[in-house]
């Protein structure tokens, strides 16, 4: 399977447009970080700009791309359906962000309904491709996408309900919404995609047993998310931790062949090291999450402590996976021939070792009980690493859009 896209097919033109969406939200995240002292809900805005804005747009675009590739479907002649889904999604995101910024539930509920509709349409499209496709070796990747979309469809209504829920039930809803969306929508998508993306990033063959491992890991991952969701709603901490353990076991099962592939071909690019570091932070976040749930006196305390989980989960796992994947996929998807792809890849790889080292060292310090001024310094370093990616990525996309 190759992820190279020939511009003559129209796919390069599509990715020149769609590729801007996650970057726009990441730029907005940078702005929020810079002016956060004057924003009362800046943490909420930052989380949703990353997850609902940047990550969800990236998942919608690239899961469709990988679905067509792994199922060997004919390349779509038109992108009207996909463009409509993205338009509805981003109208919904705008409504949700407006609600968070203004503390008014009405635009948030309307926005959540639009996001829900976009994900339903995406899920229907995935199911349609599965029904129409012949048996393929990597069909399990699309099964991960279907499970991930289903998880998000359970998390969205709960998020909307939180806008009008009373304070008594709100902590349980927060825990359900956060866990199902992060560990369902995001983590399942990542596990399914890395089956084929990881060896491609390493420029090596897939390790023996990788497909079988992905198939074995999916049922416990889904079961873990279901058990975790039910347990946090009912506030049963031990079963919730059992759900986290199932998810962690699924991650380890898929990681074994990934590590074997990396031992055969040592990671040598920003993409590879960023994705590898992200996997480590996912396991750290699951461990911290288990401790927070078991040690909390009740759901309100657990919801308060979830901030300790968000840093390794969002900055360590989600953001590093997103940037690593985009650093590899964007140069390939924009077409223009091998020379253009090499040039773009080199530009996004520039200072890659420094960026990965700086980001992960700063994160490691940030999660420790350090003084506020140390956290401010580490936050600035992480923000600087993000800007080091965003500036060349935007230049590459804008240059590609201006090309005849």
Q: Can you read off the two tokens belonging to residue 112?
A: 């959540």
H helices, E strands: number in the chain: 17, 0
pLDDT digits (tens, 9 = 90+) for 270-320: 999 999 999 999 999 999 999 999 999 999 999 999 989 999 999 999 999
Phi, psi of 254 (to 5 degrees): -75, -25
Residue 190's nearest CA partner among 129, 132, 113, 255 is 255
Q: For residue 42, how many other CB atoms are within 10 A of its CB?
A: 16
pLDDT score at 403 = 56
Tokens 């447009």, located at residue: 17
111 touches 92 (CB < 8 A)? yes
254 touches 212 (CB < 8 A)? no
Q: CA-CA distance, 175 to 388, in Å (whole number)? A: 33
Spell out the alpha helix ranges (H) of 71-138: 80-102, 105-132
Collapse the DSSP code of 16 into the 3-class scheme (helix H, G, I; strand E, B; otherwise coil) and give the result.
helix
Q: Can you read off the two tokens belonging to residue 401?
A: 């859009």
Q: CA-CA distance, 64 to 75, in Å (whole number)? A: 11
Q: CA-CA distance, 326 to 3, in Å (whole number)? A: 12
Regions of the chain short of the pLDDT cut 50: 1-9, 404
Sign (positive/negative) of CA torsion 261, 267, 272, 277?
A: positive
Q: Where are the beta strands (DSSP E) in 22-152?
A: none
pLDDT digits (tens, 9 = 90+) for 348-399: 999 999 999 999 999 999 999 899 889 999 999 999 999 999 999 999 988 8
Residue partners of 106: CB distance under 8 A and separation at least 6: 99
- ∠ CA 378-323-16, nearest 5°, is 140
Q: For residue 200, how many other CB atoms are within 10 A of its CB?
A: 17
The maximal CA–CA distance of the chain, rounded, in angstroms, is: 62
Residue partners of 54: CB distance under 8 A and separation at least 6: 21, 22, 23, 25, 26, 29, 322
Residue partners of 331: CB distance under 8 A and separation at least 6: 340, 341, 344, 345, 348, 396
Tokens 């590459």, located at residue: 396
In the chain, the domains with their CATH numbers are 7-402 (1.20.210.10)
295 touches 246 (CB < 8 A)? no
Residues in the chain: 404
Q: How far is CA 301 from CA 67, 93, 108, 231, 294, in A?
A: 41, 29, 26, 15, 11
Q: For residue 209, how many other CB atoms are within 10 A of its CB?
A: 13
pTM: 0.93
- ∠ CA 35-173-88, nearest 5°, is 65
385 touches 352 (CB < 8 A)? no
């Amino acid at each position: 399977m190759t992820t190279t896209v020939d511009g003559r097919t129209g796919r390069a033109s599509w990715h020149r447009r769609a590729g801007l969406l996650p970057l726009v939200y990441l730029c907005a995240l940078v702005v929020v970080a810079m002016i956060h002292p004057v924003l009362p809900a800046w943490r909420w805005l930052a989380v949703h700009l990353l997850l609902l804005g940047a990550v969800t747009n990236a998942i919608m675009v690239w899961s469709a791309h990988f679905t067509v590739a792994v199922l060997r479907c004919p390349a779509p002649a038109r992108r009207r359906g996909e463009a409509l889904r993205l338009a509805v999604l981003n109208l919904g995101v705008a409504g949700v962000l407006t609600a968070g910024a203004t503390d008014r539930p009405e635009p948030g509920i309307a926005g959540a309904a639009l996001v829900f509709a976009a994900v339903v349409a995406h899920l229907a499209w995935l199911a349609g491709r599965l029904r129409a496709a012949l048996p393929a070796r990597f069909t399990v990747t699309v099964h991960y996408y279907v499970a991930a979309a289903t998880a998000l469809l359970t998390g969205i209504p709960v998020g909307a309900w939180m806008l009008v829920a009373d304070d008594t039930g709100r902590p349980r809803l927060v825990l359900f919404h956060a866990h199902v969306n992060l560990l369902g929508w995001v983590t399942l998508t990542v596990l399914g995609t890395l089956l084929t993306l990881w060896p491609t990033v390493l420029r090596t063959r897939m390790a023996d047993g990788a497909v079988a491992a992905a198939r074995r890991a999916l049922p416990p991952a889904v079961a873990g998310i279901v058990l975790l969701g039910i347990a946090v709603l009912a506030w049963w901490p031990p079963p919730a931790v059992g759900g986290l353990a199932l998810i962690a076991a699924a991650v380890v099962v898929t990681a074994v062949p990934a590590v074997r592939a990396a031992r055969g071909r040592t990671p040598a690019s920003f993409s590879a090291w960023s994705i590898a570091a992200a996997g480590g932070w996912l396991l750290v976040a699951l461990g911290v999450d288990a401790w927070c749930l078991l040690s909390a006196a009740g759901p309100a305390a657990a919801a308060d402590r979830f901030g300790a989980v968000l840093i390794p989960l969002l900055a360590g796992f989600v953001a590093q996976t997103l940037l690593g994947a985009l650093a590899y996929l964007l140069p390939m998807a924009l077409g223009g021939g091998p020379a253009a792809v090499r040039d773009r890849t080199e530009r996004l790889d520039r200072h890659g070792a420094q960026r990965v080292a700086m980001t992960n060292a700063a994160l490691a310090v940030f999660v420790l009980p350090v003084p506020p001024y140390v956290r401010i310094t580490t936050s600035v370093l992480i923000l600087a690493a993000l800007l080091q990616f965003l500036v060349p990525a935007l230049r590459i996309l804008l240059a590609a859009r201006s090309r005849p």
